[in-house]
């Protein structure tokens, strides 16, 4: 039997009992209606002021789990929520163990280790108290219409067995006024899931994967609702054991594209499908893209 199929919960092999997992549907009172976004973050202080306000407005609750940030991420998250008047919708937690990087490092770690990606994800999502969850990244920013769409879904998906795919587009940040939006990749991953015993995380080859029943319905949102921030002056691939593995697995098509675009832009070349965008004076380019450029782009959005 798969280790994660323990109906009672999970115990980690290191014996850190404070970080054993109790499935949320087993807790007294069970799950309440609504949807919670869960962010697993490390050093996302640059992105969170853009990420959190629309996400807090669009969902019932947001859980931010910090995994060893050194840039003040928790403080930035608290301030962003407070400035938006939504501090009551934010819960912050700390996961103090080093988590294996995607790829070979992840593959070598036991599934029930506190250092395993799958165990880490199961622990994070075990903190959810609602019937639905959004697997959100700390650099994913909703556009204006994305916020409205997710808010509309939040009150509808809490009681149904449906998975939601959310397309996102890489936004490569040069500085506060210049960025590059990649519309050359058609990508829509599964980000919305019911909370229950059929939707837990297990170990896959390069990363964790969420189990789903065969009869579960999947719906896809349109393109143009979300961007993923990429810092052209940072290390966007630090969470991978070996980025050269992108070239050896068909599962890494998206990462190959990101690697190619990132390094082309660093070398001064704008690849096909990538749009150079300059913001008006006094407007941050992330706000310009998410509030103006993408919402006003002709539909259907030309992607891929």
The domains of the chain are located at 25-196+222-296
DSSP 233-269: TS-TTTTBS-GGGGGG-GGGHHHHHHHHHHHHHHTT-
CA atoms of 121 and 115, how far apart (whole Å):
11
The model's pTM: 0.92
My answer on whether omega of the bond before 234 falls inside 30° of 0, hence cis, is no
Q: Name the helix (H) or strand (E) containing 180.
A: strand 178-182
In this prediction, residue 104 carries a pLDDT of 83
In this prediction, residue 188 carries a pLDDT of 86
Burial letters for 141-166: b for 16+ Cβ neighbours within 10 Å, e otherwise? bbbebbbbbbbebbeebbeeebbbeb
Q: Residue 109: what are its φ and ψ, rounded to 5°? A: -100, 140
Per-residue pLDDT of the chain (304 residues; tens, 9 = 90+): 456 778 889 999 999 999 999 999 999 999 999 999 999 999 999 999 999 999 999 999 999 999 999 999 999 999 999 999 999 999 999 999 999 988 888 889 999 999 999 999 999 999 999 999 999 999 999 999 999 999 988 777 766 678 999 999 999 999 999 999 999 988 888 999 999 999 999 988 778 888 888 888 888 999 999 999 999 998 766 656 566 655 555 556 777 888 889 999 999 999 999 999 999 999 999 999 999 999 999 999 999 8
Tokens of 215: 């009869």
CA atoms of 1 and 263, how far apart (whole Å):
43
In this prediction, residue 1 carries a pLDDT of 43
* CB neighbour list of residue 228: distance below 8 Å, 6 or more residues apart: 137, 139, 140, 141, 168, 169, 170, 171
Q: Give the side-chain half-sphere CA count within 13 A for 184.
A: 16
In this prediction, residue 217 carries a pLDDT of 86
Most distant pair of Cα atoms in the chain: their distance: 59
* CB neighbour list of residue 53: distance below 8 Å, 6 or more residues apart: 80, 81, 83, 84, 86
Class of 25-196+222-296 in CATH: alpha beta
Q: Angle at which helices 48-58 and 73-83 pack, to 10 degrees?
A: 50
Burial letters for 232-254: b for 16+ Cβ neighbours within 10 Å, e otherwise? beeebeebbbebebbeeeeebee
């Amino acid at each position: 039997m798969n280790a994660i199929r323990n109906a009672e919960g999970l115990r980690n092999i290191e014996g850190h009992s404070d970080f054993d997992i109790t499935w949320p549907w087993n807790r007294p009172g069970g799950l309440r209606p609504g949807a919670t976004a869960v962010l697993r973050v490390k050093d996302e202080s640059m992105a969170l002021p853009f990420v959190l306000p629309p996400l807090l407005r669009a969902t019932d609750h947001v859980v931010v789990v910090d995994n060893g940030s050194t840039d003040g991420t928790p403080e930035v998250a608290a301030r962003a929520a407070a400035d938006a008047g939504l501090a009551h919708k934010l819960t912050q937690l700390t996961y103090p163990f080093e988590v294996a990087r995607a790829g070979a490092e992840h593959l070598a770690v036991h599934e029930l280790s506190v250092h395993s990606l799958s165990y880490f994800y199961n622990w994070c999502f075990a903190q959810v108290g609602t019937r639905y969850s959004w697997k959100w990244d700390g650099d994913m920013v909703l556009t204006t219409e994305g916020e409205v769409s997710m808010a509309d879904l939040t009150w509808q998906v809490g009681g149904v067995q449906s998975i939601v795919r959310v397309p996102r587009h890489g936004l490569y940040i040069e500085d506060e006024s210049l960025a590059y939006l990649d519309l050359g990749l058609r990508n829509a991953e599964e980000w919305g899931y019911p909370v229950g015993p059929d939707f837990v995380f297990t170990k896959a080859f390069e990363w964790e994967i969420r189990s789903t029943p065969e009869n579960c319905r999947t719906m896809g949102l349109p393109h143009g609702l979300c961007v993923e921030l990429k810092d052209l002056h940072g290390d966007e691939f630090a969470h991978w054991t070996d980025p050269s593995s992108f070239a050896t697995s068909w599962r890494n098509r998206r990462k190959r594209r990101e690697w190619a675009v990132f390094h082309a832009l660093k070398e001064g070349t704008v690849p096909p499908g990538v749009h150079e965008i300059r913001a008006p004076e006094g407007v941050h380019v992330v706000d310009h893209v998410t509030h103006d450029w993408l919402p006003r782009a002709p539909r259907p959005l030309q992607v891929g």
